[in-house]
Structure 1
């Protein structure tokens, strides 16, 4: 009984240690460096492409969110429904009612005075250069996150006198480069006291000319009804505020009030860019597949070239499992090498592109993990057939070749 047990133990296959298996797997890569590098390059291109097409849009999105936060993702516009007969007017007290909503941080308004601004009294009285003359409340700038480019905004004194502030496009069309110049609004001369910097979320502000609320009433026949109310709210509560604004602004006719969010246009643009990102991600998958085929081809050729080595190892006692493990380890090591290289190249490309555009660098962790994991999976899949073919070679046949 003892002798039978000893004999079975002696014939039991020896399991290679992980370090030995790794050494055997890397042997083929060290002896055929150029071929291994070219095979790994296919994997690297696929992984690098995957990192780039996820990292660059993520960095762009982070920059967009930063810009939106600065411009006002918590901003809402309230205006009367257009094209109604008779026209719908917002109540004069609507801004004050909006300010009483709990989450509202600030609210201000402008109103169309339906007058024409001209560079001088010599120009055509009907030619307003496509600009709008707006009566403005004094707290408009913080409500729309606007800033002055030159001069100063309307204050308690200038709002009652014929003073005007120009939007960036209005100043260009009227040929105004600084303060102190005079413009004709209606039949009165107004003095330019300031010019606004561009307001990206509100292009109508750039094409407007602003006069004080009291001055518009006294000199332009303004009736006191706001045209647009700008609201800033606590961002977590913005949808709730949006829902109650129509009833708050115009309790008698809430259905005739329109509430919009300027930043929604940029969010739609971002969704379009994400569609292109998905396309490039598909191309990255194709590149990864091509790289996997290259690894499989390399391993098949390696088996054919190393049949003598396989036969010698079998003759010296290596079993089929050890042969399979050797070539499978080699395929996985080759693909992993390509995966690590591709991850580094993709990360460097993303960092360089983001730095060039002054964006924050964002490399999604999931794409890095998916890239490395995908490389390992590709190595396993690509190495299964060659490793099984190597293990199936009879020792006598392999040594005879």
Structure 2
């Protein structure tokens, strides 16, 4: 076997032009695949990080409180006690935040728009700082009472700038309207479609607008160390919280704002908890990720078809050029199996070298693009929820790409290698061409 490997390597060295041509094609396809995976992984990671930071946790413990049977509010009462329970029941927890939420009318001197509002503690939510790109103002100012963060798109509609005052109007739990004047403290860069219907303000100000107690919030957002643990955590909480005395809603995989009609028709009062995950709250991200995975798979298939055709044709030409060489080897005693193995080893070595070089080149391109901090068009921002291109190359995925393409290269060479091994020595030695 060592001798066959040495012969295969020498054959590759002897036919340098063909080796460089085919090896370059394999390297190019591998580089494109690594870049494609880096782009796909980067887009998915960016989307999930932005969406789960701004809109939802990995697992959410929210709910509704009903003062009367026909009127509900999306709040969780006595949340500090509940948060302690969750920390004990979820050892997979990385960190958690409490986020008040609601729906308000934002009124400026020239116009008004209806927007979802999130109440945050900007000093405690470090992940929020990583996602939000400030265009005007200082994010630290959002810690002050009666301040507001809006996005560039909303600032244009409202015709306001940092320092201007707008009025927020919303109905309280008891059905009366309440208003509060807030100062625009921060204008942030757009974050895709999420910046079309969300604004943020301090938790204390939002509680004041809805006339809620200090121990009331909208939802407890749990962020896990490993997102694959989401189903197990969700199932455990559905089982344990009722055992601990909490009333639970039936699981409904929809955002909280789509559940009002159902909840208001139910004949109960008081507090019920609702456990959801990020896929329930922002299902459009799930669809986008699925579409992105499908597109990546299709492009990968096309790349593999291209390289398969190239390898097959090149090996056919190589075997035709080396017909007399094959006949000589057979005549001096090399068995058919060894001829087959020799060609397979050539394809294996060529594939391994080509994919390794291509993977290194693809990784270099991904790193260069990240260093360049490339901005993306507005149309792309709508989907990746970021104004910057970010590529993520997973070492395991890169190794998998190298292994997969190398195996494909070797497998594709089976047919021409088998035909070469079946040549009769006399016929091959008398071949001209």
TM-score normalised by structure 1 residue count: 0.64
Task: Note the 1:201-220 alignment, pairs <5 A.
Answer: 206=199
Query: Do 2:147 and 2:202's aligned partners in 1 also have CA atoms closer than 8 Å?
Result: yes
- How many angstroms does 1:286 deviate by? 3.2
Q: In structure 1, how many angstroms separate the alpha carbons of the residues matched to 2:283 and 2:105?
A: 35
| 2:220 pairs with one of 232, 243, 260 | 232
- Contact kept? 1:108, 1:229, Cα under 8 Å: yes
Q: How far apart are the structure 2 equivalents of 1:302 and 1:333?
A: 15
Alignment match of 1:165 (pick from 147, 153, 169): 147
TM-aligned CA deviation for residue 399 of structure 1: 4.1
- Tell me which residue corresponds to 2:80: 99
Number of residue pairs matched by the alignment: 356
8 A contact 2:76–2:271 mirrored in 1:
no
Contact 1:48 / 1:342 at 8 angstroms: preserved in 2? yes
- Larger strand proportion of the pair: 2
* CA contact 1:331–1:383 (8 Å) conserved in 2: no
Identify the residue that residue 368 of structure 1 maps to in structure 2: 399
Residues 284 and 79 from structure 1, CA distance in 2 versus in 1: closer, same or farther, beyond 3 angstroms?
Answer: same
Q: List aligned pairs for 1:92-171, cutoff 5 A.
A: 96-101=77-82, 102-103=85-86, 119=109, 129-130=112-113, 149=139, 164-168=146-150
Please state how far the C-alpha of 1:292 moved relative to its aligned partner.
2.6
Q: Is the 8 A contact 1:80 1:258 kept in 2?
A: no
Q: CA offset at residue 297 of structure 1?
A: 2.3
Q: Offset of 1:272 from its aligned partner?
A: 1.8
Q: What is the Cα deviation at residue 308 of structure 1?
A: 2.7
Would you say the 8 A contact 2:26–2:355 is kept in 1? yes
Task: Compute the displacement of 1:150 (Å).
Answer: 7.5
Q: 1:342 aligned to 2:361?
A: no
Residue 291 of structure 1: CA displacement?
1.9
Q: 1:52 aligns with which of 10, 35, 45?
A: 35
- What secondary structure, in the 3-state scheme, does the structure 2 residue paired with 1:168 have? strand
Q: How much does 1:73 deviate?
A: 1.5
TM-score between the two structures when normalised by the length of structure 2? 0.60
Q: Are residue 273 (structure 1) and residue 269 (structure 2) matched?
A: no
Q: After superposition, what is the alpha-carbon deviation per residue over 1:224-272, rounded to whole angstroms, capped at 9, x for unaligned?
A: 699x942225446667668969948999436998776677555642542
Which piece of structure 1 moves more, 253-262 or 366-375?
253-262
State the match for 2:380 in structure 1.
Answer: none
Counterpart of 1:382 (choices 393, 405, 413) is 413
Report the CA distance shift for 1:352/1:277 in structure 2 as closer, same or farther (over 3 A): farther
- Rate the CA distance shift 1:329–1:189 in 2: closer, same or farther, 3 A: closer
Contact in 2 for aligned 1:171/1:195 (Cα 8 Å): no
Listed one character per residue, the Cα deviations across residues 29-55 of structure 1 (whole Å, up to 9, x for unaligned) are 223222222223443344334333333
Do residues 393 (structure 1) and 424 (structure 2) align? yes
Unaligned runs of 5+ in 1: 1-16, 156-163, 217-221
Kindly report the root-mean-square deviation, in angstroms, between the aligned alpha carbons of the 2 structures.
5.2
Cα 1:204/1:153, change in 2 over 3 Å: farther
CA distance in 2, matches of 1:166, 1:43: 53
How far, CA to CA, are the matches of 1:380 and 1:111 in structure 2? 58
Deviation at 1:88, TM superposition (A): 0.3
